[in-house]
Structure formats: C-alpha cells, structure tokens
Chain A
Amino acid sequence: MANRQSFKQRVIRDFLLNKYLYVMMIPVIAYYVIFHYAPMYGAVIAFKDYSPMKGILGSDWAGLKHFQDFFNSYYFERILKNTILISVYSLLFEFPMPILLALMINEVRNRTFKRLTQTITYMPYFISLVVICGIITDFTNADGLINRLFMLLGYDGQAMLQKPELFRPIYILSEIWQRIGWESIIYIAALMNIDQEQYEAARMDGANRFKQMIHITLPGIVPIIAIMLILRMGNLLNVGFEKIILLYNPITYETADVISSFVYRKGLLEFGWSYSSAVGLFNSVINLVLLITANYISRKVSKSSLW
C-alpha cells in the first residue's frame, strides 16, 4: 500500500513538474487508443459468422469453426511449411546481407563513391512491387535476359518461374536486391556512432583493418543486429502476399503458396471475413510468441533486448 501511495505521489509530482510534456503526449496516446487498441475488439469476428448488416456484436457466434476449417484444410501443412521455409531462408540469406553491405561501405574511403553506392543500392526499394515483379517475370522468361546469358554459356533456356525448385531462390534473391540498401541504413548509422578512439588504440596495438572490423566494428553494432533480429522474428509468419501472388502460378504452388496468399484466394475473394480474421489472429499469436521467445533468448545471451 505504502508503495502504491508513493508511486501515486511520484506521478503527481512528476505531472506538476512536466505538465506540458504530458499535454503533448495526449495526441499520441489518443492515436494508439483510437487506432490500435480500440479496433482490436474487432478481432472477435474470428469467432463469429460476421455479417456486416448485423454488425460485429450482432453477428452469430461460430466458436472455433473458422480455426478448425483452417487447420483441417487440405493444404494447411503445405502452406505452413512454405511460409516458414520462405521466412527462414530469408532470415538466413537476406538478413545478413545489409550488415555485410554496411561493413563494406564503412571501409570505403572515397566519400563520393560511398555516397554513390549507398544511393544506388537503396534505389530499388522505392520501385513499386508490381513493377519489380514485372521485371522479374520478364527476366526469368524462357527467352528473358537471364536465360539469354545462360544460353551464351551453352545451357538451354527455360521459364524459371515454372520451376517449383527455383521459386524460393528467385523470391529471396530479388528480395535481397530490393532491400539491401535500405536495410543497411540503420547499420551504417550505428557504425557512425562507434568511438573513433577505439580504432586508434587498436592501430597502436598493430591490428590491421580486418582485425579492427572483427574486434571493434562488429561488436559495436551487435546490439542493433540483435534488435533487428528480434523484430524479424516477430514477423516470421508474415510473408507478404503481394509479391507471392504476383510471381506464383499453379505449378509453383507446392513451394510458393503461403498462408497469406492462401487467405487471399480463399478469404478475400470468397468474402470470408471471419475466416481471414481467424487466420490473421493465428498468425499474430504465433508471431507474438516468437517475438517474446527471441527477446528472452537475446536478453540472456547478448544482454540486449527490447524490454
């Protein structure tokens, strides 16, 4: 009781001291309450047969029907597997790339070249996804650019997007190409903050540039890497459907069909709002669990965590 009293007193005192700061916070808090917390009750339609004319509260309860439908779906295992694989592969192959790029850019001395590289690498990020996918489709055609290169080397051209085994590599390579520059920005910013004196000290001790990178630069950005990794874990099951549905076709379903594209085909085109919500909720719960786990591990191992 005494504790709570003192907490209350502390709050009041703090409020009196910083009342304008508190006033300034009101819009932000209101934003979160109105746009993020209040709508959450809408997730309840996952347990109902939602009909807009009856409203969220008036719709009939369906219990766990939509969840069961999803788990019992013929394709459930395949889409879950594909979702996880695409996520894990991009974690393995795409996640480290911006770090490498940042490290490389950091080593470049020529400022003009440095700027130029940065600008060029993050340009693709601003191209619309539809355009990107159009480019990918054209390049991977049987007589597209990539195949012409292969043909020069004496291979036969083949439509790459018709090969189930090539879908994931194409997806992830293009992902790297598009995001590497943009995602490296945060690492480059972190690199700027490393104390220059450490490098001087290292040079005095006779460390070459490579050793400096291993022992000073990398440890310097580990906390950021850890946090980015945790955030990434929180999105593990969110493979965006836009790129998938723009690139896949029935022959690559076995490697390309993911939860979100399945929900798009089934939920959105079939007007199954409750069903899509159920899948969305399932996704969010798994993501939350992953996030908390990753955060916990990171806190134990590297002492850096989100909370």
Chain B
Amino acid sequence: MKKVLRSSLIIVLLSTLLIACSSQGGTSNPSNNGNKDNTGGTNTSPQTEAGGEATTYPLKTDQKLTYWGEITPNLVGVKASHQDVPFFQDWQKKTGVQLQFIAPPSGQGREAMNVLLASGDLPDLFEFNFLGDFPGGPERAIKEGYILKLNDLIDQYAPNLKKFLQENPDIDKMVKTDSGSYYTFPFIRGDDYLKVFQGPIIRKDWLDELGLPVPETIDEWTETLRAFKEKKGASAPFSVVSKPRFFNDSGNGAFIGAFGVNRGFYQEDGQIKFGPAEPGFKEYLKLFREWYQEGLIDKNAATADLKAVDSNMASGATGSSVGNAGGGIGKWQALIEANDPKVVLVGAPYPVLNKGDTPKFGQRNQSYSSEGTVSISTALKNPEIAVRMLDYGYSEEGHMFFNFGTEGVSYNLENGYPKYTDLLMKNPDKLSPAQAIPLYARGSYNGPFVQDKRYAEQFFALQTQRDAVLTWQKTDAAKYNLPPITPTPEESSEYATIMNDINTLVDEMTLKIILGNDSPDQFESYVAKMKSLKLDRAIEIQAAALERYNNR
C-alpha cells in the first residue's frame, strides 16, 4: 500500500514540476498557417487592375477571412458571439466578404492576444489596439512580422479611407507611425462633441434640497460632501471605481487637475512632465487624505469596483462620483430611480482651486484614440479583399451602416436625419439603448469607421446627459494632453520596464498617503525613489517621441 502510494506521488510530483515548462514551451510553430481558407480567394477581386478607384459593394469573392476581436462589453450577456449579432451578419452581407470570428473572453483581450501572438498562429484580421496595448507599439508589431504595413494597400485599394485622411491632415498624422507607416483601419471621432464623455457626476436633487449650488471649486466640493454626509446620511459621499488603479478615472485629471497636474505625462511650456512627481500631486494627496479621514470618501476606496460603486449609488450611500454620460449618468439615474424617484444626476464641472478658473485637465479623447481599430496580419497572403472590405466603413453607405445600422430596421431617415427606431431606443426585449444599439450598429462604441455626432444626440436620451457633456468640455485638456506618441521599438521595452516600476510606486504612494499609512511629508522621498527608478530617462523617451510626432 505504502509503495503504491509512494509511486503515485512520484508521478504527481513529476508532472507538477514539468507543467511550468510545458506551458512555456509548447508553442514552437513559427510558420504562418493562419489562412488556410483564403487560397481560394486569390485574384477573384472585381477590379484588380483598377487600384484607387471606388469599390462596388458587395464584393464578388469567395475568400473567407478569420477575424479576431473582443465583443463589446455592452453585448456581454445579450449575445454569445459575433455571429449572432445582426450587425456582424449584415456587415458580411453588405461587403460580400465572409468572416469567421474568433473572440477572446470579454475584458481579457490583451492576455488573449499575448497567447495568440506567442502561438504564431495568426488570424487574418485583428481588432486590437496596437498603439495602446501592444508594448513597443505598431512599429514593433510591423517589424516583428505580426501585422502588415498598409501604405501601398491603402493607396491602391482603400479609396474612401485615403480620401478621408487626405482631407484631414491632423488625423492623418495621428493614424500613422513616426516613420510614416499606416498599420490600421482607424476609429475616428468625427466631431468634437464625441471626444468628451466623462466627468464628475453629482446628485442635483440633494443639492437643491440642501440649497447648495453645483460645486465648482475644491472648497465647495468639501462643503458639499460634508453636507451630504451630515444632512443626507451618506456613508460614502464620494465613491469611485478603483480597478485596476486607485480612482481609475482620475487618470484624465479629474480632481487632480485642480492642482495643475494629472496622473500621467503631459506637456507644459514645451516640456514633458510626469504628474505624480510634481508638487501639485502632493496637494491632491493631502486633500484626499483629509476627505478620507473625515469619511467623505468611500471607506473601501482602495478596493471598490464598478459593482460596489453601483450599489453605493443605488442605495443612496453615495452622492457623487466620476463617470461617463452613458455608463454613469444614464445607468445610475435608472438604478437610483428604483429606490428614489426624485433623483436627478447632473454633470459637474471639473473642480478648480479658484472660482472662475478653467480646469486644466479633464477627459478628452483625441480624434483618433486607437481603440476599436482593425489591422491585417501577415498571415493573410492576399490582402486586397480584406482592405477593400475594411474600407467600407469610410464610404458614405458604410458610414450610415456603421453608425446607425440598416435603414428601416434600426433607423429611419426623417428629413435627412437618421433617427434610431424604437427597436433600439425602446427595445421590446427590455434592453437598454446601450445594449440594443450595438446589436445593429457600432455608432455607440467603436470600429473601423468615422463616428457620427448624430448618434450621441440620440444616445444621450436625457437632457442632463447632453448638458453634462457640454459642461465637461470646458477644459484646457487639449492644450496639455499628449498626442498619441510611441517610443521607438528599441526604446519600448526599456520604457515599459521603467514605467511599470514607477506606476507601481505611484499607486502605492497614492493609497498609502491617502489612507493614512504614510504621512504626506513622505511625498518627496517617493519622488526621489521615482528618480532612482529612472523617471528622467522615461521623460526623455517621451520627449523624443513627442518631437518625432511633431515632425511627422
């Protein structure tokens, strides 16, 4: 008996020892065999010789493409896969190109991409943010041979995108890399109105009841939160999502911006600065420390996730937060109404120190912010059809289709204005517009097309949402934010290592000072630590990247 047991234990042991190795090494096939299906599609394009000319859709081809992309979080729980979503079915019909979808688990796109690339078995098309989520950025992705450089292909087969980029040189500059390579079919916010969608949110009904104005300065905020706590019995007057980082949405400079800094890099007086190493950041930490000690911030601030904030909002424990017009005001309004029908949520301006100042920072995306973009992998040997297919989103017909879906089904033209139908806005299956729109169109999130302002005008169904966007727009963020810059492929791993260590330190410093584990006087020693982690080198890399960008 003992012997049997012993030998079986040996086997168990051996296998556990080796599991680590097998998971590292099993991926040794370097050949590009991701496109078994598209051999049949060779040279079947309708107009092979007529490069640069308009494409007629649907294309006549039997080429089948594999398409890797995350399904939008709003559809999670509504539809299980791309294939079930009417939009993706129609997209194939309209372009005439068949797609076979591969979707990573929602929210894990980056990890899944990591494994996918390591396997070397690439799909034909990637919907992935190579600028933001791929270390080393698009230049490296091209150099390492994952994705195609698209310059010639766009010239020849993507007349719509080419025309758009020629007409918009500012955006053109963002969409290419430092060396002038195109790498993706971009998602473009077609109007200033679409670039701002997030900011501080507060319960106007409480303010009115207490006779307080919508707070503008930090002092007014303190007073307001205090009143919420004392007179409204809010146990967590201000709560925010802290996943993955503490006060995640402060990355854009909400509240921190009052002290003239943000949580990342920004430009000021021709110099690149790192917010958490600037003196203003200390003032922000001090303020939040006081708020925390006074009980004005959620006690579970360090661990609160979206669910926790939602439930604080719904139960009336919280009267203010930072969130989006759609996912914040829209969602919370409905949540609270269930308990308290009088509720009115409004957008408050980004706080400043002195009344009348313009906030220095606030959420403001660039016209091109690199999410929801589609790149073509090197596995696709005959990319013409794919390029023509992806160009569809920038055509006039494709513009309507991507933003509003199919006429007669998801929208009707009323005096030339595309109006979403009740199928989307008052869905019979009780789906919210945020869930129903992505079933038929991509206007409410992203993808390879130019977003239309008329989507937002309808999506923000409440007047308070539309007003909030206008309130939040009033910042100087455009002046201080950095454009989409990237380190060179050579510098990228050095930069990533430095920033990984520094951001860990910043997160730790922020929480320890705010929650009272460290005194605010420790701030300087943290900054010294950042310097020893080579912060200056990181700033240097960013400055060089900015210079290269400006020279594009």
Contacts and interface: CB of A to CB of B under 8 A. Distances in A.
A36 B119 contact: no
A235 B20 CA distance: 12
A271 B117 CA distance: 9
Given A74-B501, A266-B500, A287-B17, A250 B246 contact: yes
Interface string A104-115: 000000000000
Interface residues of B, number: 60
A253 B24 contact: no
A121 interface: no
A176 to B, nearest CB: 21
Nearest to B502: A74
Q: By DSSP majority rule, is chain A's interface helix, strand, loop, or mixed?
A: helix
Contact of B300 (A35, A39, A141, A253): A141
Interface residues of A, number: 61
Interface string B12-36: 1111111011101111111010000
A185 interface: no
Interface in A244-295: 249-251, 253-254, 265-266, 268-273, 276-277, 280, 283-284, 287-288, 291
Nearest to A273: B118
Given A227-B9, A250-B508, A269-B111, A280 B146 contact: no
A142 B300 contact: yes
A9 to B, nearest CB: 25
B28 to A, nearest CB: 5
B499 to A, nearest CB: 10
Contact of B302 (A35, A40, A159, A280): A159
A42 B10 contact: no
Contacts of A73: 501
A235 B16 CA distance: 9
Contacts of A277: 24
Interface string B50-71: 0000000000000000000000
Given A53-B30, A164-B517, A287-B17, A45 B120 contact: no
B40 to A, nearest CB: 25
Interface string A16-54: 000000000000000010011101111101000001111
Contacts of A200: none
B299 interface: yes
Most chain B beta carbons < 10 A, residue from A40, A55, A142, A271:
A271
Contacts of B517: 164, 251
Contact of A55 (B22, B30, B508): B30
A162 B515 contact: yes
A51 B18 contact: no
A105 B142 CA distance: 63
Most chain A beta carbons < 10 A, residue from B17, B25, B120, B378:
B25
A42 B507 contact: no
A21 B500 CA distance: 55
A249 B9 contact: no
A243 B479 CA distance: 42
Contacts of B6: 227, 306
Give the top 6 A-B pairs by smallest Cβ distance, nearest first: A42-B25, A55-B30, A250-B507, A142-B299, A53-B145, A251-B511
10 contacts: A32-B14, A40-B22, A55-B120, A56-B25, A158-B299, A162-B302, A227-B9, A234-B13, A250-B508, A251-B515
Interface of B: 1-2, 5-6, 9-10, 12-18, 20-22, 24-30, 32, 110-111, 114, 117-120, 134-135, 144-146, 235, 242, 245-246, 299-300, 302-303, 378, 493, 496-497, 500-501, 504, 507-508, 510-512, 515, 517, 532-533
Interface of A: 32, 35-37, 39-43, 45, 51-56, 58, 69, 73-75, 137, 141-143, 157-159, 161-162, 164, 193, 223-224, 227, 231, 234-235, 249-251, 253-254, 265-266, 268-273, 276-277, 280, 283-284, 287-288, 291, 306-307
